[in-house]
Amino acid sequence: MKQRQYAFSTDLLGNIALGRPNLGNLTRVEIYRLFQFTLRDVLEQKMSDSEIDQCFYDAGFLSGKEFSKLYIGQCDTFAQFIANTQAAMQSMKMGILRVEKADLDKLSFELTIGEDLDCSGLPVSGYEICHYDEGLIEGLFFSFTGQHFIVKETECWCTGGRTCRFSVEVLEQ
């Protein structure tokens, strides 16, 4: 079996202080989107939409787990988990996370992300595009609960919303 070149590790985030002593660790949202949507453009010519969406979801899931380890840490309560996640996402300027409903017995949640890094300000296309966010949210919830969830974006800037809304339901075994 071919040895993988990019199995994710936090080493791939690099030593930014060493590597970018003058430019630092900030870049602009446009550059992030330029990267994401040119990548998507190329992928769209090689794969089906559902395959690309799944790739973005899976990448988001991996990212959510790593993000949780790096920036959220161990949380004892749901309130603490949300507070830490909100603070981390805000300080990284990824978006404004908010909870609209939380049923801890059924593990059923409704969240919104305002000023989302992926989509806020994009043209209204009529379909939800935040598949990476869906995966990321599942990764975060997986890290907190140890359980898998079905995360579905129900409203997006690209469908005319002002915030992206996500339903998060535990995946029944």
Q: Is 114 in the site for other proteins (CB under 8 A)?
A: yes
The answer to whether the beta carbons of residues 46 and 58 sit under 8 Å apart is: no
Q: Is 85 in the site for other proteins (CB under 8 A)?
A: no
Q: Is 100 in the site for other proteins (CB under 8 A)?
A: yes
The residue assigned the tokens 């330029």 is 34
Q: Is 107 in the site for other proteins (CB under 8 A)?
A: no
Q: Which is nearer to other proteins, 21 or 126 (CB)?
A: 126
d(CA 140, CA 64): 5
Phi, psi of 158 (to 5 degrees): -75, -10
Q: Is 131 in the site for other proteins (CB under 8 A)?
A: no
Q: Is 165 in the site for other proteins (CB under 8 A)?
A: yes
Q: Is 99 in the site for other proteins (CB under 8 A)?
A: yes
Q: Which is nearer to other proteins, 82 or 136 (CB)?
A: 82
Residue 25 corresponds to which tokens in the numbers above? 């660790």
Strand, helix or coil for residue 57: helix
Among 52, 75, 102, 107, binds other proteins (CB under 8 A): 102
Least Å distance between CB 169 and other proteins?
17
Q: Is 163 in the site for other proteins (CB under 8 A)?
A: yes
d(CA 127, CA 101): 23
Q: Is 152 in the site for other proteins (CB under 8 A)?
A: no
DSSP state of 45: T
Determine how many CB atoms are found less than 10 A away from the CB of residue 149: 23
- What is the C-alpha radius of gyration for the chain, rounded to an integer number of angstroms? 17
Which range binds other proteins by CB under 8 A, 23-31, 44-52, 78-86, 132-140? 78-86
Least Å distance between CB 134 and other proteins?
18
